[in-house]
Amino acid sequence: MKPAITRFVLLLEAVVKGFGILAAWVCVVLVLLVAGDVFARYLFRTGAVWAQELQWHLISPIALFGMSYALFSGDQVRVDVLFDRFAPLVQRGIEILGGLLMIGFGVVMVKLSLPWVEMSYVRGEGSPNPGGLPYRFVLKALIPLGFGLLAVQGMAHVLRHLFALEPRPRA
């Protein structure tokens, strides 16, 4: 049973890691977009509304995919000064509880955000600015996706600590 759980956890973590890598590449695109926009404005005295909006939009996948990747890679916020002093069994309990809270929070956020995304899609919502980006529902759809990934990583986190699976090498 433990090998099957290990494979399942590794599959969940591979999905989260893939989105984490995607978020890292979005950072590269964002930097290039900002640099291009700055050069266009200062060298050629021109700019595009869509480029400025896209800069703001690209921050969303970075944050929303990055939060589950942070949990995957062990970079989440915790008070290590206290945590390191606890017995290993207490540490496992804290990790399991934290993972369960992440699952619950992720599921609630997905449930709350889906109607908002649907409403945006039905209305055909786009930018109110002339020359802005259309299809705002795509951006809003990143919210349930990001929190769904958080719940997925929470599940992997709980299973990894519940079954005392081998620690994974640092990502």
Report DSSP letters for 147-168, one per residue: HHHHHHHHHHHHHHHHTTPPPP
Q: Above pLDDT 70, what percent of the chain?
A: 96
pLDDT band with cut points at 50, 70 and 90 for residue 38: very high
Identity of the amino acid at 31: V
CA pair distance 115, 108, nearest whole angstrom: 12
Give me the mean pLDDT over the 107-112 stretch.
Answer: 98
Q: How much is the pLDDT for 170?
A: 59
**42-73: pLDDT as tens digits:** 998 888 899 999 999 999 999 999 999 998 98
Helix, strand counts (H, E) of the chain: 5, 0
